[in-house]
A and B are shown apart, each in its own frame.
Chain A
Amino acid sequence: MPVLAGQVLVAEERLPASASAALAAALPGLTGRQPETPGPAARNRSLIVTVDDGLARSFVVTPPRGTRGLRELRATAAARFATLYGASAEDWLLVGDWHARVPFIVSGLPRVLYQALQQLALTNGWRLDSVSPAFVRVWNGLGASIPANGWLLVGFGSTLTLLATGDDRIAGLRSLRLPAAPDLAALETLLEQEILRAPAQLERGRQALLWAGAAEWLPVATSLAGMASRTIACRALASNAGEASTAGQLALAGRSR
């Protein structure tokens, strides 16, 4: 659905806190702009939505020892959300890569935004197939390329998500909204700051960096902040949403199957 681009830019210009609400309000407007004539082919469409990491709130949860059941994990995640953001998780849809023993990632999406997406799919007769944050799509697309010890840095639009890994597990996650397209030096500074915040057990010497995403400012360097670095541009994600620049802001991708 290349149609979505214009609306996305409008949402992104607002403040981050109200961005999701504004986007949710703008989504129904997309319906009227659907250029295709509805037919049997349009009925079978599934809508796959990739949400900007700035719109979702993602964090790492370490499960308490002796956790039993998904209910306890959900409660833990909600408590962690409240601690991190100082607000109740009631208005947020929390979904995690649940695990009872090792730290796992939990992502929250405003319920308003999710309901707007559902409504969008409903009014157009599409099946809402998947809604995931951008870093999840990048992570799942890269697979074995992600360094087992090091950093995966996902850049989309003006959001940089830094995922720290150690011993094949997720160690830390942080999404940063950048005021402008950063240069190499700014990125290095950001990374250095983030490394300082990271848990001490991560050994810097054996770590590697992997830059991925669809942002234009992703660095092309073999070494950064004393670590081996490489870059994989995820054009596949961007191409589905039309122009790469707009897709970088927020990829709302829909494709027919």
Chain B
Amino acid sequence: MKPLRIDFVERPPWCLPTSPRARATLIALATVLLLLGVALAWTALQLGRELEEASRAIAWTRQELFARTPPPPPPLVLSERQLLAINSAIGQLNTPWPAMLDGFESVATADIALLQIEPDNRRRLVKGVAEARDHQRMLDYLAALGSAAPFARAVVTKQEINEQDPNRPLRFAFEALLAEPAAPAATPAVIPARARDGQ
């Protein structure tokens, strides 16, 4: 028969009589849990330590990396003169030499001696010096040049008789305006204005 659990003294739950097997099971369970807890705590401690080490290494590496990296170059600040120089250089490089030379070639005649050409990129024109036999031929030449391919207009800026030459040719300086490459018809007014600025 099962034992009677009749006792007037109320005991706290942990003092209640348990069968030895149940008690052994409880003790074993408690031991296992305790061991598990200890193992968990140890693992947590170890993980924490590893984490700390890793973060320390990361910090050290970051410092090292920072020390080894050269300082960033200061931002490029150009003065106005430098900007202008660069822009003019770019403009010179962009001078359409082949088209320009083709244009001069197409209007070359035996009556005109082309002595010098010099592009002026800022004003988009070409300055030139040439000698003609007479005044009419000079005008013909300039008219022909002004209507040749890369040019929009050609005007004379200075003229004189070369006295040193026994043939007394008419030496003249001229400016040939280059046609606008993108939309030559859209800005027709700019060209004479620019031509006027150039004079």
Contacts and interface: CB of A to CB of B under 8 A. Distances in A.
Interface of A: 93, 95-97, 105, 107, 109, 114, 128-133, 136, 139-140, 142-144, 146, 148, 165, 168
Contacts of A136: 4, 6-7
Contact of B8 (A114, A140, A143): A114
Nearest to B5: A97
A128 B4 CA distance: 19
Interface in B145-166: none
Contact of B1 (A96, A131, A133, A165): A165
B121 to A, nearest CB: 105
Contact of A139 (B3, B7, B8, B9): B3
Contacts of B1: 139, 142-144, 146, 148, 165, 168
A140 B9 contact: no
B6 A128 contact: no
A178 B6 CA distance: 24
A96 B8 CA distance: 9
Nearest to A127: B9
B9 A129 contact: yes
Nearest to A165: B1
B4 A131 contact: no
Nearest to A93: B8
Contacts of B8: 93, 95, 107, 109, 114, 131-132
B3 A95 contact: no
Interface residues of B, number: 8
Contacts of B3: 139-140, 143
B7 A105 contact: no
A97 B9 CA distance: 13
Contacts of A148: 1
A75 B150 CA distance: 119
8 contacts: A97-B6, A131-B8, A132-B8, A139-B3, A139-B4, A140-B3, A148-B1, A165-B1
B18 to A, nearest CB: 15
A111 to B, nearest CB: 10
A128 B7 CA distance: 11
Given A139-B1, A144-B1, A107 B6 contact: yes
Nearest to A139: B4
B44 to A, nearest CB: 40
6 cross-chain pairs, A with B, having the tightest CB-CB distances, nearest first:
A131-B8, A146-B1, A140-B3, A136-B6, A97-B4, A136-B4
B7 A140 contact: no
Contacts of B7: 95, 130-132, 136
Given A132-B7, A148-B1, 6 more contacts: A93-B8, A107-B8, A130-B9, A131-B7, A136-B7, A143-B1
A128 B5 contact: no
Nearest to A145: B1
Nearest to A108: B8
Nearest to A109: B8
Nearest to A140: B3
A132 B17 CA distance: 14
A168 B2 CA distance: 8
A49 B1 CA distance: 23
Interface in B52-72: none
Max chain A C-beta neighbours (<10 A), residue from B3, B7, B9: B9
A228 to B, nearest CB: 17
A120 B186 CA distance: 123
Nearest to A141: B3
Contacts of A131: 7-9
A139 B3 CA distance: 7
